[in-house]
């Protein structure tokens, strides 16, 4: 990665389990069924680690033995917002860990020629300004979709935003960290580059098509 990227808000997961699962995910021989399962598992592992900074508070619990003071989450309200379509594949992974999270949706598709994102849907949970918002999309390519999705969330009041993807291109990381330097970014791997059609190399192909079996 010889691009000048501010990595201070970027976490790249080097956990062996994540790396192993990403390798299977990339393979052209992995079926849609297995692909969906792996996306969910990788998201769960990344989510676990990305929640490390959630605030805790004391609570009193009575065990069968005695009373004790322990910790619980300090009332953090969470929203998970997938970028349609492929981001949908990551939602269950977050919900397994935080079942009380609300779910919003942002519909964006990338024009195949210009690579510009086009918005077709946006519905976010109420009180988005008071929630920790986790935006999900397996692929960060040019970064156009992620930047626009985060802009839409900020325009509606969102303030505390994390972006979670599986594969990031250096070009996308540069665009995202420059446009939204306040957003924490989590990814499982930073790949080499984009090809002339805006696809990530080596990447994993079209994530939406692989999740939904549409190609
Ligand atoms: C893919 C992917 C991202 C976007 C990344 O979606 O899921 O949303 O491309 O590219 P970018 O960083 O250059 O914007 P796509 O537009 O193919 O839509 P889909 O998920 O509905 O297939
Ligand atoms: N979107 C994808 O699904 N894959 C890529 O490699 C780039 C954009």
Residues with CB under 6 A from ligand 2: 86, 139, 141, 199-200, 203, 206-208
- pTM confidence score: 0.95
CA distance 164 to 84: 14
Segment 18-75, tens digit of pLDDT? 999 999 999 999 999 999 999 999 999 999 999 999 999 999 999 999 999 999 999 8
pLDDT at position 215 over 90: no
Q: Rounded mean pLDDT of the chain?
A: 96
pLDDT at position 199 over 90: yes
Measure 55 CA to ligand 2 centroid, in angstroms: 34
CA distance 120 to 105: 10
Measure 139 CA to ligand 2 centroid, in angstroms: 6
Segment 108-158, tens digit of pLDDT? 998 989 999 999 999 999 999 999 999 999 999 999 999 999 999 999 999
Q: Are 157 and 128 in contact (CB under 8 A)?
A: yes
HSE toward the beta carbon, residue 116, CA cutoff 13 A: 3
The mean pLDDT value for 161-170 works out to: 98
- Specify the pLDDT at position 145: 96
**What kind of architecture, by CATH, is found in domain 7-212?**
3-Layer(aba) Sandwich (3.40)
Q: Which residue out of 114, 156, 182, 214 is catalytically annotated? A: 114
Ligand 2: which residue has its CA nearest to atom 4? Answer: 206
The mean pLDDT value for 80-107 works out to: 97
- Specify the pLDDT at position 75: 85
- Specify the pLDDT at position 1: 63
CA distance 214 to 198: 19
Closest CA to 100 of 145, 148, 152, 54: 54
What's the token pair of residue 202? 């080596």
Measure 58 CA to ligand 1 centroid, in angstroms: 42
Query: What are the residue boundaries of the structural domains of the chain, listed by start?
Result: 7-212
Q: Are 173 and 5 in contact (CB under 8 A)?
A: yes
Q: Are 211 and 36 in contact (CB under 8 A)?
A: yes
Q: Which residue out of 11, 30, 36, 110 is catalytically annotated? A: 110
Catalytic-residue membership of 206: yes
CA distance 208 to 214: 8
Residues with CB under 6 A from ligand 1: 83-86, 109-110, 115, 117, 137, 139-146, 172, 198, 206-208
pLDDT at position 2 over 80: no
For residue 14, what pLDDT band results from cuts at 50, 70 and 90?
A: confident
- What whole-number percentage of the chain has pLDDT above 70? 99
For the chain, give me the number of helices (H) and strands (E)?
6, 15
Closest ligand by atom to 143 CA:
1
The mean pLDDT value for 89-100 works out to: 96
How would you label 104-141 residue by residue, b for 16+ Cβ within 10 Å and e otherwise? bbbbbebeeeeeebeeeebebbeebeebbbbbbbbbbb
- Specify the pLDDT at position 3: 82
């Amino acid at each position: 990665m010889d691009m000048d990227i501010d990595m201070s808000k970027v976490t790249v997961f080097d956990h062996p389990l994540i790396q192993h699962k990403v390798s299977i995910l990339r393979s052209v021989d992995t079926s849609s069924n297995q692909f969906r399962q792996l996306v969910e598992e990788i998201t769960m592992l990344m989510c676990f680690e990305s929640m490390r900074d959630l605030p805790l508070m004391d609570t009193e619990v009575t065990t069968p033995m005695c009373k004790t003071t322990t910790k619980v989450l300090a009332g953090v309200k969470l929203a998970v917002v997938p970028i349609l379509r492929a981001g949908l594949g990551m939602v269950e992974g977050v919900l397994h860990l935080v079942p009380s999270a609300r779910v919003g949706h942002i519909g964006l598709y990338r024009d195949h020629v210009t690579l510009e994102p086009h918005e077709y849907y946006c519905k976010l949970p109420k009180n988005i300004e008071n929630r920790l918002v986790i935006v999900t999309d397996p692929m960060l390519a040019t970064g156009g979709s992620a930047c626009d999705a985060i802009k839409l969330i900020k325009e509606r009041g969102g303030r505390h935003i994390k972006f979670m993807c599986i594969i990031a291109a250096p070009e996308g990381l540069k665009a995202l960290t420059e446009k939204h330097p306040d957003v924490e970014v989590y990814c499982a791997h930073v790949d080499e580059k984009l090809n002339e059609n805006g696809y990530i190399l080596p990447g994993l192909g079209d994530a939406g098509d692989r999740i939904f079996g549409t190609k």
